């Protein structure tokens, strides 16, 4: 498989599923998964799945400054998240990494993790509101007010769903 996957990513470098397979293969066989995942996100920066794998590989294989390196990966990845759902997914992966790292009892990491949960909630709320505002601005004058209200209610329902899922995660962290 090794030669065929090398060939495949060389011929089709923008196929995220090939990069995912390649990164997971290298992670399983302990063959430089860090280098592979860095190439993967460079070729397919829009893939939230690749950024999640990048954080996981960083968590597993980095010995020094793991927290800072995961934070750097997250900060790069969040810039490429196009939808609130992708942002939510990446935030949850990042927060999961932080929770695992803070289980060692380091009070500084626990405090940072708690603050990060708050930052995630604020960021996701703002992102969702920005999507709604852009949607309203894209209507022209011939559109009915009913459509705007329906869009608002749908957007509000999606936001409530995202925040409910997120709040469940925050409760778990606060109990920690």
Whole-prediction pTM: 0.69
Residues whose CB falls within 8 Å of the CB of residue 27, separated by 6 or more in sequence, listed in order: 33, 53, 57, 60
Is 39:33 a contact under the CB 8 Å cutoff? no
Q: Can you give the pLDDT of all 176 residues of the chain as single tens digits?
A: 566 777 888 888 888 888 888 888 888 886 778 888 999 999 999 999 999 999 999 998 877 888 899 999 999 999 998 788 888 899 999 988 888 888 877 788 888 888 888 888 888 777 766 655 555 455 555 455 555 555 556 666 666 666 666 555 544 444 44
- The string of DSSP codes covering 94-106 is HHHHHHHHHTT--
- Quick check: 158 and 128 in contact, CB under 8 A? yes
Both tokens assigned to 142? 């011939």
């Amino acid at each position: 498989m090794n030669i065929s996957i090398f060939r495949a990513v060389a011929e089709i470098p923008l196929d995220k599923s090939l990069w995912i397979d390649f990164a997971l293969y290298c992670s399983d066989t302990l063959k430089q998964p860090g280098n592979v995942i860095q190439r993967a996100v460079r070729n397919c920066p829009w893939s939230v799945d690749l950024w999640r794998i990048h954080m996981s590989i960083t968590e597993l294989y980095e010995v020094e400054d793991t927290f800072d390196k995961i934070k750097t990966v997250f900060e790069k990845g969040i810039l490429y998240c196009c939808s609130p759902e992708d942002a939510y997914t990446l935030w949850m992966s990042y927060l999961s990494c932080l929770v695992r790292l803070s289980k060692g009892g380091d009070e500084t990491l626990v405090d940072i993790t708690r603050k990060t949960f708050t930052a995630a909630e604020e960021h996701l709320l703002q992102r969702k509101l920005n999507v709604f505002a852009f949607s309203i601005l894209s209507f022209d004058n011939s559109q009915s007010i009913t459509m705007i209200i329906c869009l608002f209610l749908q957007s509000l329902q999606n936001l409530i769903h995202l925040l409910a899922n997120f709040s469940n995660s925050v409760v778990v962290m606060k109990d920690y």
